[in-house]
Every structure is written in C-alpha cells, then in structure tokens.
C-alpha cells in the first residue's frame, strides 16, 4: 500500500460538488474547499443542515464523483481507484443501511464478504467486533428488534469489518439518548487510540469538542473556520459568556441597554448572550443597571458560540 504523502489521508484542493436540480438550475452543495487530514487524526466537519457536510463525506467515501477541484484519498484518485479506496475505508452512514430481516451476526458476515475477505477470516472478525461493540449476546437477534443505540453500534462494527485505515462517520450519534451516545463515544475513543483516523460530521457541539482534534466549520458549502476546538474558541469567542433570559419578545429591545457591558452581544429568540472575559463581573453590572432577567447563567465559551459568531444563526435550524 503506497500513500503518496506519508501522512495525508485526505487531501482536497478546491473541492466542489454541484447537482442539477429539477428546475434546471445548478445547486452548489460544496463550493471549493481545501481539506487535509493527517494519519491518526480525528477530524470533524461541523455545520448546520445543508452546509455541504454530507456531500463532502460522500465524495470522500469514493461514492459520489467530484464536480471540480482535486481529491486524493489515501493517496489515490477516487475517480479511477474507487474500489481500492473503498476497500480501505469504513463508512458509518447517517441513515442505517442494515439488513433488518437478518440477524446481527449475518449483517456483519455478509458485509465482510462484500470486501472479498475469506469466509473464515470474516467469521473471526465478526466475533471480535461483536465483542468490541458489546453485542455478543445479541448475535442471533434480528436487527429490527435492536434499540437505536444497538443499531448504531452494529453499524459502527460493520464499518470496521475490513479493518479500515480511515473511518468516516456521518452524524454518528444523532437520534441516540445520552447514555447510548456515551457508549458510542467510548468505542470511538478506543478506535482513535488504536490509530484509526476518524472523520466525522456532526451538528452537536459537544460531540465535536469530545471527539475532534481538529475541525472545520462549514456553512453554505464553504469552510468558515478551521482549527482545534480550543483554538476556534480562542479565536472566535471570549473566555466566558453570560446568558440572560427576559420575558418573551423583550430581548431585542433590551440588547442596546447592555451592549457596552460586553465585547459582543448576540440576540437569540429566547435569550441574550453577552461575551466577556469575566462573566460574573458583567452579570453584576447588568444588575447594577436595574435590569432583572428571569434567569441568568455564566458559563465558559463553547463551539456553539463560535458557530453563532461565524454563521449568525443557531446550528439546528
């Protein structure tokens, strides 16, 4: 296996994807992005729905042809070496594509066979992976009887059947309850520790902070910012944030009254966000002005604040 540049798992320059819509006009889903993912790294695509994350992932998965720019996966060209690339990556899609009428073990076994792996090899990998995602006891259960979290873990196990160098996860924990999310995150941490390169999309800020060494924020098909979660917070937000909740519909008119107390004020439909280096001090000044919010909270900045700053809207809209 040769990888052109030793550490580059994904190398995209000016990558574009456009679709012809029914009305005849062209829809630009990805409008020229540069991405470089290194071996062993955990890399995230962040963005609201429709930002172009999934289109980018499908191109990286060597399934959807690129519309422009250049793309190399594991040093190979997806246009001509699709099967070779796909043999070495794992894909965990957003919507489960498990065969619901087959049992858990058969789902893994059959998927392993799609890679042309010998039957005995697939059987032993199936047992290992069932253990890894804690589904050994469910091996004979039908997929349709599994919980959402179990299905997700099975999908992750399936994406590992070919021992991929690069694992692509599209919204890995969307729709899972908090406990199930933590189980999935734990398994992903273990993979990262084993040296598997992870690339994931998410619109959950906490997920990105937990899992990603480095990430890009995508919006409307372009990259709005790039860096580690901490770097992005430092570059695009303050250390602390004061959240103020007033009566319904009052936020717009109160905003000017506190504008000078913070570096920046963000008006959301249900609250005001005051960005400052010392949240407690800012909150005290708000009270000094005779303003009496229904609720207030001082917290550290998160990626969500970065996102608000960069795109001017909340993530899940």
Partner 1 sequence: MSSTADDGSGALPGTLIRATWVTDYWLTVYKRTWKGTVISSFVTPLLYIVAMGVLLGGFIKGDPAKLEGATSYLSFVAPGMVAAQAMTTVFGEVTYPVMGMIKWHRTYFGMIATPLGIPEVILAHLGFVLFRVATVCAVFLLVMTPFGVFESLGGVVIAFFAQLLIGMAFAVPIYAFTVGLKDESAFALVFRLGMIPMFLFSGAFFPVSNLDAPMEAFAKVTPLWHGVDLTRMLTVGNIDGPMVLVHVVYLSALVVLGWFWAVRRLTRRLTD
Query: What is the contact surface with partner 1 in residues (CB under 8 A)?
Result: 1, 19, 58, 61, 63-65, 80-84, 86-88, 91, 93, 95-102, 106, 109-111, 113-117, 119, 158, 162-165
- CB 95 → partner 1: shortest distance, Å? 6
Q: Identify which of 225, 241, 246, 233 has the alpha carbon closest to the alpha carbon of residue 294.
A: 246
Edge-first strand order for the sheet with 42-46 is: 89-92, 166-170, 197-202, 42-46, 214-219, 222-227
Bridge partners, 245 (sequence order): 295
- CB 33 → partner 1: shortest distance, Å? 19
- CB 139 → partner 1: shortest distance, Å? 15
Task: Compute the C-alpha angle 236/237/238, nearest 5°.
Answer: 145
Q: Which is nearer to partner 1, 114 or 124 (CB)?
A: 114
Q: For residue 85, what is the enclosing H or E element?
A: helix 78-87
Contact 233, 64 (CB under 8 A): no
Residue 278 backbone dihedrals phi, psi, to 5 degrees: -130, 100
- CB 35 → partner 1: shortest distance, Å? 20
Fill in the DSSP letter of residue 269. S
Q: Which is nearer to partner 1, 8 or 314 (CB)?
A: 8
Place of tokens 């029914």: 22
Q: Which is nearer to partner 1, 165 or 209 (CB)?
A: 165
Q: Which is nearer to partner 1, 20 or 178 (CB)?
A: 20
- CB 144 → partner 1: shortest distance, Å? 11
Helix pair 148-159, 178-193: axis angle to 10 deg: 20
Lookup: tokens for 192: 């990262």
Q: Where are the alpha helices (DSSP H) in 147-273?
A: 148-159, 178-193, 205-211, 229-236, 251-258
- CB 63 → partner 1: shortest distance, Å? 6
Q: Which is nearer to partner 1, 63 or 291 (CB)?
A: 63
Place of tokens 């039908």: 142
- CB 116 → partner 1: shortest distance, Å? 5
Q: Which is nearer to partner 1, 122 or 223 (CB)?
A: 122
Place of tokens 């040769």: 2
């Amino acid at each position: 296996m040769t990888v052109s540049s030793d550490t580059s798992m994904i190398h995209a320059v000016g990558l574009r994807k456009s679709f012809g819509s029914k009305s005849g006009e062209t829809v630009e889903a990805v409008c020229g992005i540069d991405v470089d993912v290194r071996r062993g790294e955990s890399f995230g695509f962040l963005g609201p729905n429709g930002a172009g994350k999934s289109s980018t992932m499908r191109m990286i998965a060597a399934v959807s042809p690129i519309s422009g720019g250049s793309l190399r996966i594991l040093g190979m060209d997806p246009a001509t070496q699709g099967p070779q690339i796909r043999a070495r990556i794992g894909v965990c899609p957003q919507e489960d594509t498990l065969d619901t009428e087959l049992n858990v073990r058969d789902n893994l076994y059959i998927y392993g066979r799609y890679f042309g792996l010998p039957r005995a090899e697939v059987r032993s990998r199936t047992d290992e992976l069932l253990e890894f995602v804690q589904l050994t006891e469910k091996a004979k259960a039908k997929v349709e009887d599994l919980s959402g979290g179990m299905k997700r873990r099975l999908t992750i196990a399936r994406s590992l059947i070919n021992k991929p160098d690069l694992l692509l996860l599209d919204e890995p924990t969307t729709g899972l309850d908090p406990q199930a999310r933590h189980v999935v995150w734990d398994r992903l941490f273990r993979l990262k520790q084993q040296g598997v390169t992870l690339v994931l999309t998410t619109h959950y800020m906490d997920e990105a902070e937990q899992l990603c060494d480095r990430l890009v924020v995508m919006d409307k098909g372009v990259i709005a910012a790039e860096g580690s979660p901490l770097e992005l917070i430092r570059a695009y937000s303050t250390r602390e944030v004061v959240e103020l909740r007033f009566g319904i519909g009052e936020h717009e008119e109160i905003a000017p009254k506190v504008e000078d107390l913070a570096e920046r004020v963000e008006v959301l439909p249900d609250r005001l966000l005051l960005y400052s280096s010392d949240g407690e001090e800012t909150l005290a000044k708000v009270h000094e002005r005779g303003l009496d919010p229904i609720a207030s909270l001082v917290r550290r900045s998160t990626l969500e604040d970065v996102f608000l700053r960069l795109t001017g809207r909340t993530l899940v809209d």
